[in-house]
Structure 1
Amino acid sequence: MPTQGEHRRSTTVAALAAAALLAIAACTGPADPVPRASSTSAPSGSPTPSASPTPTAPAEPELPAQVESVDGAVAMMRYVFELYTYAFATNDASGFEPISADDCTFCSNVRKNVATNRSADHVVHGDAITVDKLSSRPIGDQGYFSIRATITQNPSETRDRAGALVGTSEGGRFSVQAALQWRGKSWEVLEVEATPAKTP
C-alpha cells in the first residue's frame, strides 16, 4: 500500500499508541511505514505512449457514523482505505486532515505525495483497494484500537494532464497494521503500516 492535527500528545500517550501497533506486530513481525506499491517511471527518451481516455474519478467516500466500538473502528478503517484511493485519484487529500494524528507518518506521507502529484499535474488511475480481511480490538482503556487487515491493491498508472503515461505501479497484496484512537466524539488515525502479505 504504497506511502497533522491540532493537539500534541504526551510521551505516555505516544507510547500507548505504539503499544496498539506492537500488540499486533507481535503476531506478524515488524513493519516499515506504509510505502506506495513499487512504481516504475516511463524511461526517458522512449516513445511516449498514446494518451488513454481519462477514467472517471471515484466518488468521495462518506465518513462513517462515529461510534466507539470494534465495529466503529472497522468502519473507520474501511473509510481510510477508500479515502486513500480517492486522494490519489483526485489529487485531493484534504479528507485526511481532520482524522490524522499530529505524528501519523502514513497520513503525512499521503498528503505530501498527493501534493507532489498535484504540482506535477499527475494523476494516479486504477489504484483501487479491496479489503480481504479486516478486524479490530480495543487496547487498554484510553480509547485505543488496533487494526489488522489484508488488502489487495490493483495495478495502477500515473498519467499527466495530456493522458501520457509517466509511471506504473504493480499493486499487490499487503498485510496492514494500524492504530486508531477514540477522541471523545470521533476517531483519529494514529498510524498505518504495511508489508507485502505472505503467500498462503
Structure 2
Amino acid sequence: MPHRRRLIAAAATGAALLLLAGCTPDSGPEPTPSATRATRSATPAQSSATPTPSPTATSPTRPAAMGTNDEAGAVAAAEYFLSDLYDYMYVSGDTTEWAALAADDCSFCNSVLSDVESMKTANHSDTGSAVEVTASRGAAINRGESYSVWVTAAQSPSQRRDAHGAVVTEDAGGTYDLFLAVWWIDGWVIRGVDVLATHGEPSP
C-alpha cells in the first residue's frame, strides 16, 4: 500500500515518535521552542505534458482562530493543516502553504512534501482523499509556546492517475487517531505528527 494516501501511517516516524513521548502535558520539563520555519522552495505544480484534467482546487483560507496563541488556536492550526491543506496540496500540487506551516525537522511534513514533489515530477494527478476532522482537543505544554493536539480524522478513498488517466495507485482511506506537536514561533508551526490508532476504512 503506497504511503501517499495512508494518512501519516508510513510517514510519521522517527522525530514524530520522539515528539509524542516528549510533547504531552505529563512529559516533564517544558520544551523551549527552537524549531525554525521551513525555508523550502515551494511552488504550484508545473508540467510539460497534458495530464487528464483533475478537479479544480481552491486555496484554503486560514481560520480566524489560528490568530490566537492558545489551545483553541493550536487546535485550529492542526485541523487546518490536516483537513484543509493536506488534500488541497495533493489535488493542486501547490506546497507553498504546507511548507510555510511545517517545521524543518517535522519528518511527516517532509515526507508528504517529498511525495507531492515526486507526483509532480512524474506528471501524475490525485483525486479524492478528503480529510474530515471529527473530533479534536488541545492542551498546553508551555502556554504561549507549545501545545499538544489530539485529532480523530476520517480520510475518504483516493486514486492517483498518470498523464493518460490510467490509475497508478488507489487507497481505501480510513479513520485515524492522530497526535500533533504544535508550537508558536511568530505564528503556528507543526513540529510533528503521529498515528495513535487506525480504525479501518470509513463507512460509505
Give the TM-score normalised by structure 1: 0.71
1:12-41 residue CA offsets vs partner (Å, 9 max, x unmatched): xxx8885215859xxxxxxxxxxxxxxxxx
Cross-structure match for 1:132: 134
What is the one-letter code of the residue matched to 2:153? I
Cross-structure match for 1:19: 22
Is 1:59 the counterpart of 2:62? The answer is no
Gaps of 5+ in 2: 1-6, 12-17, 28-51
1:151-188 residue CA offsets vs partner (Å, 9 max, x unmatched): 110010001122221110111111110000011x3101
**Residue of structure 2 aligned with 1:147, choices 139, 146, 149:** 149
Q: C-alpha distance in 1, partners of 2:106/2:140?
A: 19
Please tell me whether the aligned partners of residues 19 and 181 of structure 2 are also in contact (alpha carbons under 8 angstroms): no
Please tell me whether the aligned partners of residues 136 and 146 of structure 1 are also in contact (alpha carbons under 8 angstroms): yes
Q: C-alpha distance in 1, partners of 2:196/2:56?
A: 27
**Residue of structure 2 aligned with 1:178, choices 177, 180, 185:** 180
Q: C-alpha distance in 2, partners of 1:57/1:78?
A: 22
How far the C-alpha of 1:60 sits from its partner, in A, is 1.2
Q: C-alpha distance in 2, partners of 1:170/1:196?
A: 17
Cross-structure match for 2:4: none
Cross-structure match for 2:79: 78
Cross-structure match for 1:187: 188
User: Aligned pair count?
Assistant: 159
What is the one-letter code of the residue matched to 2:79? R
Please tell me whether the aligned partners of residues 105 and 191 of structure 1 are also in contact (alpha carbons under 8 angstroms): yes
- SS of corresponding position for 2:100: helix
Q: C-alpha distance in 2, partners of 1:56/1:135?
A: 32
Q: C-alpha distance in 2, partners of 1:22/1:145?
A: 8
- SS of corresponding position for 2:23: helix
Q: C-alpha distance in 2, partners of 1:23/1:59?
A: 40
Root-mean-square deviation over aligned CA pairs: 2.4
Distance 1:196 1:18, change over 3 A: closer
Please tell me whether the aligned partners of residues 158 and 167 of structure 1 are also in contact (alpha carbons under 8 angstroms): yes
Distance 1:165 1:74, change over 3 A: same
- SS of corresponding position for 1:110: helix
Q: C-alpha distance in 1, partners of 2:191/2:25?
A: 13
Distance 1:160 1:23, change over 3 A: farther
Cross-structure match for 1:156: 158
What is the one-letter code of the residue matched to 1:70? E
How far the C-alpha of 1:55 sits from its partner, in A, is 4.5
How far the C-alpha of 1:57 sits from its partner, in A, is 2.9
Cross-structure match for 1:120: 122
What is the one-letter code of the residue matched to 1:153? Q
Give the TM-score normalised by structure 2: 0.70
Please tell me whether the aligned partners of residues 67 and 186 of structure 1 are also in contact (alpha carbons under 8 angstroms): no
What is the one-letter code of the residue matched to 1:64? P
Select the structure of larger CA radius of gyration. 1
Please tell me whether the aligned partners of residues 131 and 150 of structure 1 are also in contact (alpha carbons under 8 angstroms): yes
What is the one-letter code of the residue matched to 1:114? V
Gaps of 5+ in 1: 4-14, 25-52
Q: C-alpha distance in 2, partners of 1:120/1:16?
A: 33
Q: Where has structure 1 moved over 2 Å in runs of 4 or more?
A: 15-18, 21-24, 63-66, 195-199
